[in-house]
Structure 1
Amino acid sequence: MTKPVHLLKLCVGADSVEDLVEWYRAHPSAAERRHVTRMWPRREAEVLAGGSLYWVVKGVILCRQRILRLDEVRGADGILRCGIVMAPEVIRTEAAARRPFQGWRYLDPADAPRDLPAERVTD
C-alpha cells in the first residue's frame, strides 16, 4: 500500500487564511480550485494516496486542502504543466513557521502540522 505524502506551497498574494477562503468564494468553479505549477510530482502515487496541499501564508503553515487529482495543463506557451486540483474545503492547521522557498516541496505526514479542532477555528 502506498503511504501518502503532502505538498507544501507558498500562498502568494494572500495575507491570511481568510484571504484564501474569500478568493475561493469569489471563484467557486472547480477550475479555480486548481493550482497550476511547472513541475509534476515524481511521487505522484504518494500525493494521490491521501495527500494535501499545505499553504504557507506569510511564512507560516496555516491551512491545507486535500488533493483530489493532478491534471495536465498546457499553457499558452505550449508547455505542459501540472494542475493540482484540490477539494474546496480549506482546513485550518496549527501554525508552523517555514522559510521562503520557490515552487513546492514534499511534506512528510509526520512533519505536517495537526488540524485545528473546529471549536478553535474562527472566521
Structure 2
Amino acid sequence: MNKYVNLIKLSVGTESPETLDAWQQSRAAQTEDGLPRHVTRMWPKREAEILNGGSIYWVIKGVIQCRQKILRMDEVIGSDGIRRCAIVLDPQLHRTQTALKRPFQGWRYLKPEDTPPDLPKGRTQDDPIPDELNRALAEIGVL
C-alpha cells in the first residue's frame, strides 16, 4: 500500500467550492503551465509522502467540502526575496462528504484515515446531518 499523507487548509474568503474553482481559474492563482497553485510560506517537511498520492482538503466556511490532488511543489521567490512553496494542484475539484473543522493557522497534515470520503461522481453534496448533531460529533472528535 502506498504511504502518503494529505494536507488540510482553510480557504479564506471562499464561499463555496464553485468560488474556489473560479479563483483557481484566474491567472493570479496559476503556475506558468496553467495549473492552479497555492503559495505558502512553509515548505512541507513530508514532501515525499505528500507527492506519493496526497491531496489538499479545503475547509470552506468551517467545513471540509472538497479536495484536490497535489501534483508537485515549486519554489517561488517572493518580491521580498523569501523562498516559498507553491503547492501545484490538479484542476479537478473532488467533492467530499462534509465535516466540520475548527479554525487553524496555515496548513496541517491529514492522515488518509482521517479524511472524509469523496462523494459519488456527479453529487455536489451529501445527505445533510442536522447542524446540532454535526457540531456535537465534531466537538467530541468524531468528525
Normalising by structure 1, we get a TM-score of 0.91
1:73 aligns with 2:76: yes
Choose the corresponding residue for 1:100, options 99, 103, 108.
103
1:64 paired to 2:67: yes
Distance change >3 Å, CA 40–CA 29, structure 1 → 2: closer
Structure showing greater Rg: 2
Distance in 1 (CA, whole Å) between partners of 2:8 and 2:56 is 6
Choose which of 81, 85, 88 in structure 1 pairs with 2:88.
85
How many residue pairs were aligned? 122
From the superposition, tell whether residues 28 and 66 of structure 1 become closer, same or farther in structure 2 (CA, over 3 Å): farther
Deviations 1:45-85 (A, max 9, x none): 10000000100000100000000000111000000011000
Structure 2: gaps spanning 5 or more residues? 126-143
Q: Which amino acid aligns with 2:6?
A: H
Match of 2:49 in 1: 46
Distance 1:26 1:79, change over 3 A: closer
* C-alpha deviation, 1:18, in angstroms: 1.3
Structure 2 counterpart of 1:23: 23
Q: Which structure features the higher share of strand residues?
A: 1
Q: Distance in 2 between matches of 1:70 and 1:41?
A: 9
- Deviations 1:70-104, CA, capped at 9 Å, x for gaps: 01110000000110000000110000111001100
Classify 1:23/1:50 alpha carbon distance in 2 versus 1 (closer, same or farther; 3 Å): same
In angstroms, what is the RMSD of aligned CA positions?
A: 1.9
Contact kept, 8 Å, 2:65 with 2:96, in 1: the verdict is yes
Q: TM-score normalized by structure 2? A: 0.79
**1:92–1:115 CA contact under 8 A, matched in 2:** yes
1:106 maps to amino acid: Y
Instruction: Give, in whole Å, the separation in 1 of the partners of 2:29 and 2:64.
Output: 25
Larger relative contact order (CA 8 Å, sep ≥ 6): 1
- Sequence identity (%): 59
